[in-house]
Amino acid sequence: MTLLAVFRSRAQALDFIARLKGAGVPVQAVSTPKEAGVGCGVSAKFDGRFRARAGTLLAARKYSAFAGFMRAQGDFYVYE
């Protein structure tokens, strides 16, 4: 399952992506889908198998701009 970590801040999204890569998570920066309803434009896309590791990093950094996780559902993304 594909997940997106959605942020309201481009800087925080890119920081999170760098930290995920440093933790060995295959991740890429992608355009935030319009369904997210946030204006940043950048999200972290990764495999759902790494959600626990992503959650640990999110909790450690206390990202104020984190909007939530979205999962792929057909051609769209929905918040979990």
For the stretch 26-79, pLDDT in tens is 999 999 998 898 877 899 999 999 999 999 999 999 999 999 999 989 888 999
Please tell me the distance from the alpha carbon of residue 59 to that of residue 54, in angstroms, as a whole number: 9
Q: The tokens of 75 are what?
A: 């051609």
Q: The tokens of 1 are what?
A: 């399952």
Taking residues 12-27, what's their average pLDDT?
Answer: 97
- Compare 37 and 16 and report the one with higher pLDDT: 16
Domains in the chain (CATH in brackets) are: 2-70 (3.30.70)
**Residue 20: how many other CB atoms lie within 10 Å:** 21
pTM listed for this prediction: 0.92
Q: The tokens of 57 are what?
A: 């990093």
**Residue 27: how many other CB atoms lie within 10 Å:** 21
**pLDDT at residue number 69:** 97
**pLDDT at residue number 2:** 94
